[in-house]
Structure formats: structure tokens, C-alpha cells
Structure 1
């Protein structure tokens, strides 16, 4: 048995190494190895904030992840400047990095008193070794042994050189049938101290709901141009489904059941069975506090959230009739960057009219929701299981990009976030 287990471990290690060697770079928040979990990236001033830092301001990003294989790995990282639509800017590293082009991650700790052993890695950016020189979109790349072909994970972040201000308002949709369901975002860019010669070419604005990349809308043409102001309030643009408040569960403790947890068990692994969920598309709007998709790593059974929080296999059940169109249901949130993958896809049992899934989570508080992806159109529909209401409390982010005439890259010159309730 020992020889068999040793051989299996060797084969799995070889497969993971080969997988890392063959990975193709994706300009998105992406995990390339299955043992990498709980990726976090936010402005260090506020936990789980949008990863935006001001250029040369002293602000830092806090970036971390867990390696469930444990031990210590030779992880390296580098950053790459990207366009507003997350394509490579194709400029020299000398143009966007002040110091070194890459460095090794040296801050790591081993888990303590947990069933699932892991190593927790931390990184702060900018630092003495790697510092962005210009504003814009950036991709953080983590890889093995200093070889960028052995990708481990990639993470998007933003560097802001604030040159304009952005005013935002939220209104009901101007499309009469959608007024009870949609939230329309109107905004203006005020550029008193910045000369913009051709706003139809030089400026782009991206609007996003709850920092979900799947919702991003790119604005390239202002509705009106006024003195030192660009107005974006076209009748048919920036119309978002209001959605519903996120569902949530609490696994901060493994000694007692908390919010939405029906049962806890501890054996060779920790498991948590959530109370069955039902569809919310036929209900009236109900005000419920949520974190707009965020998650927070917390551990009430120990002292250190990062290294004493254990991993838990969480079981989801959704009572719902499968839609008539062919497709698949997924459970999503910021914990997986709203990405639809085989890992978070639900299995449907037609005889019981139920969807099932199980995912691995680190102890903490989590927001989540169920979405449906149509196989024929590729469109993702949240309203099928969650409903949509204008009253829903959401955060909206607006990113403003500017390319100077003759410049080879886009700058991020404006950013704001508005909450539909706390204005």
C-alpha cells in the first residue's frame, strides 16, 4: 500500500508539473493548478476592496493564496501592463516597471492544527523589487521556478493616476417593461485639468456591477460633450439587471452550525451541508444584508485566520425546475471570480427537481448566487434562479481610460464606486 501511495503521489506530481508546463497564459483571474485555493487580492486599506491602488501613493495591494500540497515552493511573480479590454499592451517592461521585472515570493507560512495541510503565501505590491511606473490595467503572474511558462495563477489589478472626476447616478431603466427589474447607470467625466482632443477615440469608460467581470460594459462614445465634461446617459446603454441580494453561509466555526448551515461533520475531511435553497424569481423583493458577492476568511476556533482556518467541503442543494433551454447551473461569487467552470457546476437530478454541487472552501463568510448558462447562446442568466429587482442594493464601479495622442498605451485616469443605497 505504501508503494502504491508513493507511486500515486509521484504520478500526480508529474501531472501537475506537466500541466504547469503546458498552461497557456489567460489575461484574466485564473488558476492553472488544482491545488491552488483561496486567492485574494485587494487594496490593503480595506479587506476585499476592489484591487485599485493610486500610482506612487504608498498604497499597496495585499495578494495571497494557499497551496494545498503544502511544503515550500519556488514561486516567482511578474506584472504585465494591459489594455482597457485586458489584452497585452505589448510595450517594454522598461516602460511600465521602475525596478526589477520579476521577483520571488518569500513570505509564506504553514497551516497549523488543520485537517487539510496547506501553505499560505503572501505578497504586497508595490514593493522594493517590483513597482509599476505608469497607470493602467495590470496582470499579476505567479509561476514556478522563475519560468513564466510554468504558470500557477494570474490576477488582475489596477493602478490609478487620478486626473478626472466621475459623477454617477442610478435610475430605473428607461425601457418601460424593465423599470421594475433593471438599474440604469448614468455618469459624467469631468476633465477640467486634462485636455481631451477627441473623446470618441481617446477615452473609454468601463462600468461593472459588484466587481463582476461578466457584467462589464465598455462605453466608447459620450452622449453629449460639454465644456470640460463628457456625459454618458444614452437611453439604451448601461442598463443592468438589478438581480437580488446574494445568498450567504457562515463556516467561521466548525464546532457549531451558523447562518444557512444545516449540518457539520468532521472525519477525514470537514464537511458542511447547507440548508436547501429555493428559487427567488417569483418572490417580491426582500431587503437582506449582504456583502455584494464578497467573502471574508475568518476562524472562530483559532487565532490566525490565514493559517489556522481549515478547509471544508460545502454541499449545495437548489430546489428548482430546470429551464426548458439546454444549459447548466453554476454557483458563483467573488470566491471564484464569478467564473463558470466544471468545479462549480451543479448536477441536476430530474426525478427530484434538484440541483447539487460540492465545493471546497476555507473557513469564513461567503456570499454566493446561482446562475444559468444557455449552451446554445452562451449567455448567463441570473434572474432564472434569483429574480431581478430595481430595489436591490448593488455596488457599481466606473473605470476611465485615456490614450494620449501618439501614446502606445492606455492610462487609467479615473475611478469611482457608487452604492445604489448609500449615496
Structure 2
């Protein structure tokens, strides 16, 4: 399976149609009043939402409803294959318990300008328990009607049956050695009854938990006993990109590093310092959270209910006019979606700007440029691209037994460029 590193470098979305559409099998928010969606392994906030099958591990889902009051939200999980198509299984085949459940754990905001209701649930629980490993889509919907979707999240349930070893090196392509990171890995599958390793196992690899950057490895480079080796010079070559930008609003009483001004009236307004174009010749070390965000409030007791919202004003000196293209702001906080809500506006002073309503906390973000000429998103034009960038890589191993109607998730490994 061959991939052009330049395609990965300049277009991490397949086409502009990717950000014009949403599907019920991706991370999506379907209502404008739903904010601050968190979904992570309960052991650590903002972590990858993967849990071991049959263990005591859970994932935590939390979100705010800014419409106020309480509403009837239900949720369920649905089994999917490695490419997020629904499996040909009935709920009874992948769930040990009920088909769905009501979301009963909620609390009202306290002492905030913006009133909201915070909802939270942990999965598995006594009502929703996955029976088999694999990809699951978590659906939250209103009034027991799945056509009234509120949000969806991707969940990974791992039944570990393989082991993985991996290393991250500079690209084998001379022209990309200063910008790209190549992942080589080996899957040991002696614990599986594999008839054809070239078709029974496939491996999905993504950077910083972003499916749009992912590469599906359908065939190994070669087979060595019960080991599948993936190290062809042309595969798993990722743009290193750059460290994320960030801001800190854990306190709205004083300015932090990236805050210019804070205004308080009937709402909170925060003006951030202007952002420059960071596409520079050389890498500059910055510490980031690989695109994540954390809901935090230094001035309260429980950020789930006493962290306030603020209108965050961003401005970008892109050195590009609106006749050339459009700038977008993305991060885990908005599922990296390129849409009207993440689109920046060009002003008469030659800068791009937008304001977002965000809950207090620490946020990573970056800018994406969509050229009018190519219509393709590019997250390196405004941010830069460097081999030295610290990145996480999530490696997921899928297995379909001969004659089976579903794919199992039999291995998961978290890699990091700085921890090899």
C-alpha cells in the first residue's frame, strides 16, 4: 500500500467535501447549543477513548447544554468495522445489557454568566456493556429518537490478542527528511488463528488521534513467521507539522500568557494576542498538548458546573487575502471540523478574525488554510512543518476471522516521537 508523502503534507483531508458533510459515524455535534464535549478514558482527562474489553476501565462523556433546564437525552453504542461502517450484527450480538439508556446524571451551572446544564455518563455501566471488541460509535439523541441526534463519539474497545513494536524515524524520502516523520512497526499475531495475514489483519495509524490524518495498512511489507512487518519506504510517512498554539483561561480574573484583555459585563469577553503566520524556516520548541483541551477553573471548586463561558476573540496575520483563500481555526475542541463555525473573517486591516464561545480551560488550536485555487485544506501553510515536532501516534490493529461478520480490535498502541 503506497502513499505519497506530499499528499499527506499538503492535504490531510481528502477533499473540500470532507468538511462540508457530517456522518453519524464520526465525532460530531449536531446542535449549536451543545458545547464542551469531552470523551476520554476515565483514567486521564483528554486521553484517547480506548478501553480494554472485560476490564474495569471506562470512558467518560461530558457535555454542556446551553439551552438551560433539563432535557430527555438517551444514548447507545453501535458496533462498526475498521472504517466505521456499521457491522452486520444485531445489538444483542454486541451488547450484554440493554440496547439504550437514559442520561440521568446532570447538574446545573452555578455562579456563571452563561447558564448551562452539564451532562455526564461513564461507559460501560450496568445498563450499557459492550460484549465484543471493536470500534463503537456512541450516539446521544433526544426523546428516545435516534433521528434527533445530539452528538456522536468514536469509542475503541480493545480485546488485546497481538503485540506491537514500533519506532519513528525521519522520512526515507530525501526531499521530506526535514519535515516528515515515518512510522515503522511490527505486529506479532501468534495468539490469533490467522489463515491469510494479507487479508485477515489491517492496521490503522493516525497522528494525534485525528482520523483525517490516518493511514490504513491493508497488507504488510513482508511476513516473518507470525510477525507482520510494515516498513516499506513509501508507507506511513506523516507530515510532522508544528506544535499547537494554545491559550489559558483557567482564571478570568487576570491575564495569562496569551491573553490581551478580559472584559466582564453581562458576559465574559477575552481578547487574545494576535497570532502570526508560523511557517518559518526552522523549528521553534514549544510545549503543547497535541491538540487537546481541558476544562479547568482555578477560581471555583468543580469546573463541570462553575467554569464560565467566554467569547474568545482570535486574530491572525496570515499574510494572505480573502481573494487567495479562507482560514479556519481547529482543535480537538471542535473536532477539527472545517465549517461555518470554524471559519475566520477577513477585515479591512488585512487580518483574519473570529470569536468562539468557549468554556474556561486550557486549549490547543491551529489554523488551516483552504486555497481558492486548489480547494484543498492545508495545515502547514500557516503553521509550518518540521520533523522535530512532538506528536502522538495511535496504532490500532483489526482482525476479521474467516467467515466472521465483524472486525475485532485486537491491539492498540500509543506511540510518541519523544518517548521511544
Shift of the alpha carbon at 1:373? 2.5
Q: Residue 243 of structure 2 aligns with which residue?
A: 245
Q: What are structure 2's unaligned runs of at least 5 residues? A: 1-20
1:406 aligns with 2:403: yes
Q: Are 1:234 and 2:232 counterparts?
A: yes
Judging changes above 3 Å, is the alpha-carbon distance between structure 1 residues 376 and 146 closer, same or farther for their aligned structure 2 residues?
A: farther
Write the distance in 2 (CA, Å) between the matches of 1:24 and 1:242: 27
Contact 1:30 1:155 in 2 (8 A): yes
Q: Say if 2:374 is the partner of 1:386.
A: no
Instruction: Tell me how large the CA RMSD over aligned residues is.
Output: 1.5
Partners of 1:34 and 1:94 lie apart in 2 by 33
Q: What does 1:1-400 correspond to in 2, within 5 Å? A: 26-322=24-320, 326-349=324-347, 351-374=348-371, 377-400=374-397
Whole-Å Cα distance in 1 between the matches of residues 373 and 32 of structure 2? 28
The two structures have a TM-score, normalised by structure 2, of 0.93
Q: In 2, are the aligned partners of 1:325 and 1:374 still within 8 Å (CA)?
A: no
CA contact (8 A) 2:295 2:303 kept: yes
Bigger fraction of residues in helix: 1
The answer to whether the Cα contact below 8 Å between 1:25 and 1:151 also exists between their aligned partners in 2 is no
Measure how far apart 1:195 and its partner are. 2.8
Unpaired runs of 5+ in structure 1?
A: 1-22
The CA distance in 1 between the partners of 2:37 and 2:242, in whole Å, is: 25
- Encode CA deviations 1:215-267: one digit per residue, 9 max, x unaligned: 01111010010111001111111111101111100001110011201111111
Say if 1:141 and 1:155, in contact at 8 Å, map to a contact too. Answer: yes
Task: State the Cα distance separating 1:282 from its structure 2 match.
Answer: 1.8
Secondary structure class of the residue paired with 1:200: helix
Flag the 1:252–1:394 CA change in 2: closer, same or farther, 3 A.
same
Q: Deviations over 1:30-50 (max 9, x none)?
A: 111110000010000111110
Structure 2 CA distance for aligned equivalents of residues 323 and 233 of structure 1 = 42
SS in 1 for 2:263: strand
Q: Which has the higher contact order (CA 8 A, sep 6+)?
A: 2
Query: TM-score if structure 1 supplies the norm length?
Result: 0.92
Distance change (3 Å), C-alpha of 1:30 and 1:324: closer
Distance verdict in 2 for CA 1:387–1:126, change over 3 Å = same
